Every structure is written in structure tokens, then in C-alpha cells.
Amino acid sequence: MKKIAPKNSFQHQTFVKITPEKALLIEILRRAINDFVWHCGLKRSDAKTHEIQRSARLWLFGPESHPLTPFSFHWICQHLDQCPRTIRKRVLCLAKTLKKEKHSLSKPLTCKRVDLHEHFK
């Protein structure tokens, strides 16, 4: 079982225990979010990059999949006790923020890759 320190681990010496199965589901979700967010709004991209972003967008925002379909977005959300609608809203907000930073000439890109382990118990 993997132990993940919470955000403020210097204040609290407790760890969140995540099973390997749950860690795998978190990683699948994190990868899809990163693939969508980091390629969202790119003006210059090759065909492979475009396909990665499109595939992630379809998996995250496509037609509602059946919650019993293994490894679908809804199935993973269900197993992580997360609301799909909430995850989608957060992903869109992150993409919008990152897109603004990418196109801003006044400040460097500061957004980091998504780390979901701290959000799940």
C-alpha cells in the first residue's frame, strides 16, 4: 500500500493510505487530465499531439459511458468516490487557466502537472 503525504505534511504527521489498485485508477485519471490540459489550445501541434489531446477530451468529456464499463471515466470516478461533473469542471478551469498563461507574454508558464494523489484517500 502506497503512503502519500498530505499537502501540509510538515504540520500533520499522518499519511493517506492508497491501495495499489486505487493508485492505478488515480494515475489513469491524472494522465487523461494532463493529456487534455497540456495540449489544450496549442496552436502548433503535430498529428500525434493532436490525437493525444482529442483522445483525452473524448474520454473525459465524451458521451456518457456506462458506469459498469471497466476503466471508463465514470467507472473510475465511481471507484474513487468522485463526482464526474465536479472533475470535469475542475479540468476545464485548469485548462482555461493554463491557456491564459500560455498566451500571456508578461509572465512565464507556472502551472505544474496535475498531481491527484493528494486529493484521494
User: Element (H or E) spanning 4, and its range?
Assistant: strand 2-4
Spell 89-121 as b/e; 16+ CB within 10 A means b: eebeebbeebeeeeeeeeeeeeeeebebbebbe
Cα separation, 38 vs 120, in Å, equals 22
Q: CA 26, CA 4: separation in Å to the nearest integer?
A: 12
CA quadruple 47, 45, 94, 24: dihedral, nearest 10: 40
Tens digits of pLDDT across the chain (121 residues) = 555 555 544 454 456 688 999 999 999 999 999 999 887 666 666 788 888 889 999 999 988 777 788 999 999 999 999 999 999 999 999 988 887 766 544 444 444 455 565 555 4
Tell me the whole-structure pTM to 2 decimals.
0.69
Residue 104 phi/psi, 5-degree rounding, is: -85, 130
Q: Which three cell numbers stand for residue 23?
A: 493508485
